[in-house]
């Protein structure tokens, strides 16, 4: 029976499935693995099931001359915490769990769009403070999103799911930026020629690109500067896609109307500058936080592991 390190506890059904097939070691913490832990794991286990933030960097992988570990079966679609090139060079297969997260993440995007545009977070805090004095006609006026333009940056599975919700559910016009041509979004949508064009015309901009060197600080001061003053920015991708310093400055100056964030540059740290602002909705990375979704993600990781050790084609190799 192969040895498997699970970096953080997964839903019970997933853990049971893993223990039925592997000699499982579970780390007794919810914190990400450090580079030291990652290097040690590569030398000590046949397989590792890592997830968001675990330190499988080039430096960590490079410290192990001949890894015992042959597969990193990542729990999650995003794998920017794993240096895939360094892993493959050491003979380590890397897999992920795409598809399972699509609808749940798109739903969180819609949650943030509505919460930010309708000032729901601010309103909830007002009620809890005991300072709400009752309804009146011009109280906390927000943006009605029906019929407005949504700009989606990144038209992959999640981007398309967001587009469907916005267009079919709210009658929004959909424009988008993508590094390659997208022939069919599934709903009426226009691919514009540049990021700047999307940022400039959209009433709501949603970021749905993978985290990578190419997308680091893609949404910077220059990109934010072309947004309309009544517009909102929503990020459900990776925290470092947005330059948080530039975003804080834009929000504080009223350069844009508001933002909704589910991810941050240095999770779980959230800058004081964001915490102090009323015009930003802050969620604790809830993108896939539904039990059935997390279970499905886990079972996809199980399938990847079983296929690998069974000598079959791995379903979700990255």
Residues with catalytic annotation?
Answer: 238, 267, 285
How many whole angstroms separate alpha carbon 251 and alpha carbon 244?
A: 10
How many whole angstroms separate alpha carbon 298 and alpha carbon 14?
A: 6
- Bridge partners of residue 49, in order along the sequence: 6
* Residue from 95, 169, 166, 141 nearest 258 by CA: 141
Task: Find out whether the peptide bond into 191 is cis, omega within 30 degrees of 0.
Answer: no
CA distances from 216 to 18, 251, 305 (A): 35, 20, 30
* Residue from 40, 35, 34 nearest 59 by CA: 35
How many whole angstroms separate alpha carbon 267 and alpha carbon 51?
A: 14
């Amino acid at each position: 029976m192969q040895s498997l390190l699970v970096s953080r506890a997964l839903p019970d059904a997933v853990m049971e499935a893993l223990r039925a097939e592997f000699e499982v070691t579970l780390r007794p913490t919810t914190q990400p693995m450090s580079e030291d832990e990652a290097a040690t794991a590569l030398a000590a286990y046949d397989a590792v099931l890592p997830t968001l933030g675990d330190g499988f960097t080039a430096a960590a992988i490079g410290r192990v001359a001949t890894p015992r570990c042959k597969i990193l079966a990542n729990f999650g679609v995003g794998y920017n915490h794993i240096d895939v090139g360094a892993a493959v060079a050491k003979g380590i297969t890397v897999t992920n769990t795409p598809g399972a997260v699509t609808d749940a993440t798109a739903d969180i995007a819609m949650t943030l769009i509505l919460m930010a545009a309708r000032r729901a977070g601010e309103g909830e805090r007002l009620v809890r403070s005991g300072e709400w004095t009752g309804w009146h006609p011009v109280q906390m006026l927000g943006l009605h999103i029906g019929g407005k333009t949504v700009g989606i940056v990144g038209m992959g599975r999640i981007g398309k799911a967001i587009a469907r919700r916005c267009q079919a559910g709210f009658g929004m016009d959909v424009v988008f930026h993508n590094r390659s041509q997208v022939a069919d979004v599934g709903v009426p949508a226009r691919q514009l020629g540049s990021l700047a064009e999307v940022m400039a015309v959209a009433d709501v901009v949603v970021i749905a690109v993978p985290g990578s060197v190419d997308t680091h600080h893609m949404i910077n001061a220059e990109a934010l500067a072309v947004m309309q003053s009544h517009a909102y920015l929503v990020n459900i991708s990776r925290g470092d896609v947005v330059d948080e310093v530039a975003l804080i400055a834009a929000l504080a100056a009223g350069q844009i109307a508001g933002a909704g964030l589910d991810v941050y540059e240095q999770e779980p740290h959230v800058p004081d500058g964001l915490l102090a602002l009323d015009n930003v909705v802050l969620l604790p990375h809830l993108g896939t936080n539904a039990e059935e979704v997390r279970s499905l993600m886990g079972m996809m990781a199980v399938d990847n592991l079983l296929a690998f050790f069974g000598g079959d084609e791995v379903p979700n190799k990255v």
